Every structure is written in C-alpha cells, then in structure tokens.
Amino acid sequence: MAGDGGTAAERAAAAVEAAAAGGWEFRNAYRRQLLALSRRIRLLGPFAEELREARRGPADGEKERERERALAPLADALERALDLLRLGRDGSRIFLVLERDNVMKKFQAVIAQLEQALCDFPYDKLDISDEVREQVELVHAQLRRAKERADMPDDEFYNDVLSLYNKSYDPSAELDILERLSEKLHLMTITDLTQESLALHEMVASGGGQDPGEHIEKMSMLLKKIKDFVQTQNPEMGPPIGTKLMDSNGEPRPVNIPDEFRCPISLELMKDPVIVATGQTYERVCIEKWLVGHHTCPKTQQRMTNTTLTTNYVLRSLIAQWCEANGIEPPKRSSQPNKPTPACSLSERANIDALLSQLCSHDPEEQRSAAAELRLLAKRNANNRICIAEAGAIPLLLSLLSSFDLRTQEHAVTALLNLSIHEDNKASIISSGAVPSIVHVLKNGSMEARENAAATLFSLSVIDEYKVTIGGTGAIPALVVLLSEGSQRGKKDAAAALFNLCIYQGNKGRAIRAGLVPLIMGLVTNPTGALMDEAMAILSILSSHPEGKAAIGAAEPVPVLVEMIGSGSPRNRENAAAVMLHLCSGEQQLVHLARAQECGIMVPLRELALNGTERGKRKAVLLLERMSRFLVQQQEEKEAQLLASAQAIPRLPEQVQETEIPEQLDSPSP
C-alpha cells in the first residue's frame, strides 16, 4: 500500500528499481500499454540512483522533511504503477479481458497520477543533477502525451472472449474464436494453461462485488474450452480433458473425466488428491502453490483455519479404479521430496571437529596445522564451507587473527575468506565481530595475509549494510595503503574492496581524506596501464562526491580524461565521460570546459555519442550539450569585447580650428 515501507525517497527508488529488475513478461490484451508504462518507469533509473546516493549522506532534519513532502506524491504514484504492472504480469488473462473497462480506468488513473506528480516537480528541493533532471522531464512529457489520448485494446479480442463467456456465439464459428483466443492470450502450452487457471482463481478470489462461485465457474468453463481446443490441436501435449481412447477397431472413442476427479484449480485429472481444512479436495502441487500468500479455499472462499493437507486415499483409489476400467494408465505421483542431506558425511564432520579441537590447543604448531587444513577444506567446495561454519569454526578462526605467529594468522584469515564465499557465512562472520580483527591483519600481517584480508573485506562488502560496518572500522585507510604499496595482487584486491565500499556515500569522504584520489590519478596516468579499469571505476564513483570532485579537479585530470574518451576501452571511455560530466558542473566548470576545449574533446565525444555503451552515449550527449553552450557563450563574450573595444577608440577631429594653432608657427624663429 502507498505510504508503507520507509521514506518517500526509499519508496520511489524501490519502485523504479523493481520495474527495472526484469522478469516483466506481459502476455495479455494490454501488452502494448504495459510495456509503455514499464519503459517510462525504467527511464527514471538514474533518478532512483541519485535518490539512493542522497539518502546515504549526512541527515539534515529540515531538508529531509522537505524531501519527504516533495517526493511523497511521486512515491505513491510509482507504487500504484508498480501494482498495475504486477496485475498485468500475474493476473488472469481471461479475467483482465472481461474487466476491460475497469483495467483501462486503472491505466488512465495511474498515468494521470504520475503526470501530476511530475508536474512542477520541486527540483530545487532535491540534489538532482542536470542530466537526471532532463531525463525526468522527458518522462513527464511522454506521460503528458499519454494522458491526452486513450490507447484501447483490441475490440475483436474483447468480443471473442465475451461471446464465449456468455455463450452467445455462432456454433459454427467456435473453432475460429478458440484459435484466435489461444494465440492472442498466449495459452498454447500446458504450463501456460495451468498458470492461467491458478491466476484465474486468485483474481476472482480477490475481486469484490460478484458471486465468486458463479464467476469462477463460467470463466473456468471458458478456460476448459480453450484447453480442450489446444490439446486437440497439439497431440504431443497429451490428451485433453475429454480423453480420447482407441476402441478394438482402432477408432477413437471419447472418455470424459468425471468432474470430481479433476482438480478445481488445474482442471486436470488429479494425481495426488489432498483434502484442505474446508473439506475440499485439490491436486497437492496446485494447492501448495495457492497457499503461498493465501489463507482462503479457492473454491468456497472460506478462510482456512490451518494449512494442513491430508491425502484423500479414497478418491485416489477411485481414480486408479476408473483409470483401469477405462484403459488409462493411472497418473503417477511425484515422489516425495527427500529429507535434506547433511552438508558432509559423518567421517568428514568428525575430521572437521578434530581440526577445531586443534585450533583450541596451546601448541602453536597444532594451531597452525589445523588452520592450514581448514583453509584448504573451505576452498575445496560449498559443502565444506557450510559444514565448517556449522561446526563453530568462525569464532575460533577469529581468535587466531591476533596470533603472533604470522603464518597461523595468514591461514586463519584465508580460511575466513574461503568461508565468506558462502552467502550464509557472511552474516555469521559479521555478527561475530570479525571486521576489526580482519582490519588488524590488513594493517599488520604478512603481505599474503594483508592481501587475503583485503579480499575478505571485498567479499563481505557485497552486502550493502556491511559496507557501513566495514567503513566505520578504519578499513579504508588501510586499504589505501595496500593499494599504494602492495603486490600486484594485493593492489587488485584493495581496489576491488575500495570500489565496493565507496558505493556507500558515507565511505567516499573517508576514502578521499585517506588520499585515494592522488593514488588513483597515478594509476590512471601509469604508462603500463596496470589496474586502469579499477582506477577509472573508482574515479567515476568518487567524482559524484563534492570533496572527490574538488580533489580530482586539483590533479589536472582533463588531458588524460579526454585521451581516455578517445582511445580507452568501452567501460573506461564511459567512466571518463562520467568524471568529465561531474567536473563540468559546479564552481569550476568553466575552467574544466575551457581546458577540455583546448584538448580537443569535441571529436572523441561525438564518436562516443555514436558508438559508445548506452551509459557512455548518454554521458557524451550531455557533455556535448554543455560544451556547445560553453562555446556559444565564449563566442558571444568575444563579440561583446570586440564591440566594446571598437566603441572605446577615440575618433580623430575632422578639422583643426584656426584658434587652436599656436602663434609660434606663424613666424618661425631664425
């Protein structure tokens, strides 16, 4: 529901990200309208990114309240639009066609609400870049046009469904109607038909005003007609509900499956009938899917007091007898899921327990040997990682990170690195308070231990909330030092960890104050090109921070960035353009624009705008616009200066007055 789930900024960003996440397949009468709505919301992706970035900055009470008021209408509208997209993706295709008028009203209401939310949008109250503002304004213009014209679905489509639903069609045209509907509704496979049946029950159950029993019965019969037609047209899909068998003469004879043997949800012959709390019987697989998120009986709409499923042995026996009497092979039930197997065998677990006992030993040799063995076991496979963590190894390995034996310390931190590859172990490592100890190794361990400590921080920082935890423990200055003086592998691990950590806005300032920018600029200008990709990615992310932009601007970056835009890899070109775009906004923009002009940026920018990545093209177009405005402004200033200079030159007198000639000139002296 609108208004729930955090601040307006978080809600708006979450809605846009959900729309852009993929998996939005629309296979119904409103596909065109749904794709257009989805595309417009996805265009707000950069806007959502900037909202996320702004939220990570320091809180300001009054400013936060202004942001909340400014973004609340948009967040409500985006959430409502997301609900409509979900309806189009998950809803029953038959139900949506029959509810055409109501569905179109929803479309018009959502478009009007989005357009109104973006009308006179208070950009001044939000820290939104010019690039993003232009994109939001583009979406607003599209919504305004969509609001002015109604895009109705196919009338023939609607009339076909309605005629079958009301049984008002010409019998001779039935097959043609069913063929059109099966194609337009994308109901061509058993999977499609089963999903439609589930969606049909869900939508009728959640709808109000109409008798669900009558409504679902009529639509189920309509779906049954389509299913029979499709299965008849495609024999490889299996027999239709009215199964055709061969008699002794080889002629087909129809055998209709009794209604009580069909699942009310899938309309298929039941394989594993189960009884629910209301006394109704369903196919186990179908009712299990239904019960995810529902507490009512699909057929009666009664609320179920529990979700216990009891096998209907009597009905299962009757179905088997009926199949045998009619020459049909009884349906095979899917085997019950096996009990989860342990991650490792008993002997492997015993070996791990023995190694953990050695970790607790007072003998340094035993500790070192056990840590080394656990390091190798954790590297070997996922099952070992699960089993070692479940055995309680993480706290014991953490205690060894402060060991005076550098080799033991190295084995322990590397074992933690290997364990952290498994997602569940990340939470266990963080909750055990591991980060300060890992940072201690990063600062004081052997070079290999420091490298693996950096790699461990990188692995843990994949989780957003852990970025905050790691950044607050002094890890960033230590990573900057390793990036400066480590081995090639150590520098790579440090760069990867720093990039991940700097995604969080609060960590960008820490990295800049730790001296990361001059170090990165050194890597960018390094003739060997080592770590160029990592350096450009970090530079791009730091340039969005005010301190980062100032530090980068002070390092004379424009010549190398222009060269990168012209001749770098596709990813480096787009990152270089992103950095230039940040530099060319703000207080020093004229300085950087003038320097870019001197370096000949226009030609590589035009080429990037034509042949770059999507992000690179977008950045290049915006930079070209700014450069063009700058060049026009420069030309106007030159013309104004020339005009002013011309007006300032004193004009010579047209004639000399006689009174102005000195007397001495009348009679020259001898």
CA 344 to chain centroid: 35
* DSSP bridge pairs for 244: 254
Q: Which two three-digit tokens encode residue 517?
A: 């920018």
Residue found by looking up tokens 């013309």 in the block:
639
Q: Which of the given ranges, 90-94, 202-206, 655-659, has the highest pLDDT on average?
A: 90-94
Helix (H) or strand (E) holding 254: strand 252-256
Predicted local confidence at residue 1, as pLDDT: 42
Mean pLDDT of 307-312: 79
Using CA atoms, how far apart are residues 30 and 35, in angstroms rounded to an integer? 9
Which range, of 26-35, 157-166, 183-192, 250-259, averages the lowest pLDDT?
250-259
CB neighbours of residue 571 within 10 Å: 17
For residues 39 and 8, is the Cβ–Cβ distance under 8 A? no
Higher pLDDT, residue 442 or 614: 442
pLDDT tier for residue 59 given thresholds of 50, 70 and 90? low
pLDDT reported for residue 580 = 92
pLDDT class of 299 with cuts at 50, 70, 90:
confident
Residue 669 has pLDDT above 70, yes or no: no
DSSP state, residue 262: B
State the pairing for strand pair 310-311/242-246.
unpaired
Mean per-residue pLDDT for 106-131? 83
In terms of CATH architecture, what is 259-326? 2-Layer Sandwich (3.30)
DSSP 622-662: HHHHHHHHHHHHHHHHHHHHHHHHHHHSPPPPSS--GGGS-
By the 8 A CB rule, do 158 and 95 touch? no
Nearest CA among 61, 60, 64, 63 for reference residue 10 = 64
Rounded to 10 deg, the angle between the 488-502 and 532-542 helix axes is 20
Q: Which of 169, 111, 167 is nearest to 142 (CA)?
A: 111
Distinct helix (H) and strand (E) counts, the chain: 33, 5
User: What average pLDDT does the segment 140-151 reach?
Assistant: 83
When pLDDT is cut at 50, 70 and 90, the band that residue 60 belongs to is: low
Sign of the alpha-carbon dihedral angle for 151, 200, 238, 233: negative
- Name residue 320's beta-bridge partners: none
CA 245, 246, 250 angle in degrees (round to 5)?
Answer: 165
In this predicted structure, the answer to whether residue 236 has a pLDDT above a threshold of 90 is no
Over 60: is that where the pLDDT of 329 sits?
A: yes
In this structure, are residues 418 and 454 in contact, taking their beta carbons and an 8 Å threshold? no
* Residue 267 banded pLDDT, cuts 50, 70, 90: confident
Mean residue pLDDT of the chain comes to 81
User: Strand pairing of 242-246 and 252-256?
Assistant: antiparallel
Q: Tell me how far apart the alpha carbons of residues 470 and 140 are, in angstroms, rounded to a whole number.
A: 40
CA-to-CA distance for 321 and 271, rounded, in angstroms? 13
Q: Check whether 454 has a pLDDT greater than 90.
A: yes
Q: What is the pLDDT of residues 560-593, one digit of tens each?
A: 999 999 988 888 999 999 999 999 887 788 888 8
**For residue 184, what are its two tokens?**
């337009």
Q: Residue 3 pLDDT more than 70?
A: no
CB atoms within 10 A of CB 35: 14
Identity (one letter) of the amino acid at 432?
S
Confidence of residue 339 (pLDDT cuts 50, 70, 90): very low
Angular region, 637: left φ>0, alpha ψ -120 to 50, beta rest? alpha
Highest mean pLDDT: which range of 107-111, 287-291, 306-310, 524-528: 107-111
pLDDT reported for residue 239: 46
DSSP three-state, residue 175: helix
Q: Domain residues of the chain, as ranges?
A: 8-55+62-153, 156-206+214-233, 259-326, 558-641
Cβ atoms of 582 and 546 closer than 8 Å = no
* 3-state secondary structure (DSSP) of residue 295: coil
How far apart are alpha carbons 548 and 550 in whole angstroms? 5
Mean pLDDT of all residues in 369-392: 89
pLDDT at residue 451, as a whole number? 93
User: How does residue 661 score in pLDDT terms, banded at 50, 70 and 90?
Assistant: very low
Q: What is the pLDDT of residues 587-602, one digit of tens each?
A: 788 888 899 889 999 9
Identify the H or E element spanning 243: strand 242-246
Length of the chain: 670
Q: Give the helix/strand (H/E) hosting 273.
A: strand 273-275
Lowest mean pLDDT among 76-85, 285-294, 374-383, 465-474: 285-294
Beta strand residue intervals within 80-128, DSSP E: none
Across the range 528-548, mean pLDDT stands at 89
CA distance 665 to 432: 107
Mean pLDDT in residue range 450-470: 91
Cβ atoms of residues 33 and 91 within 8 Å: no
* Residue 14: both structure tokens together: 């979450």
Instruction: Determine the Cα–Cα distance for residues 279 and 259; give it in Å rounded to an integer.
Output: 16
User: Bigger pLDDT: 189 or 139?
Assistant: 139
The answer to whether 401 touches 413, Cβ cutoff 8 Å, is yes
Residue written as token pair 């080889």: 250
Average pLDDT for 258-274: 84
Residue 650 pLDDT class (50, 70, 90 cuts): low
**554 vs 66, more confident:** 554
| Predicted confidence (pLDDT) per residue in 610-647, tens digit | 988 888 898 899 999 988 988 888 888 888 888 777 77
Q: What is the pLDDT of residue 334?
A: 57
Count how many Cα atoms sit within 13 Å of the Cα of residue 126 in the half-sphere of its side chain: 25
Tokens 């909750």 correspond to what residue? 431
| Mean pLDDT of the 410-433 span | 91
pLDDT at position 319 is 83
DSSP annotation of 590 reads: H
Distance in angstroms (rounded) separating the CA atoms of residues 143 and 111: 6
Q: What is the pLDDT of residue 163?
A: 79
Give me the mean pLDDT over the 489-496 stretch: 91
Q: Which of 256, 289, 253, 258 is nearest to 274 (CA)?
A: 289
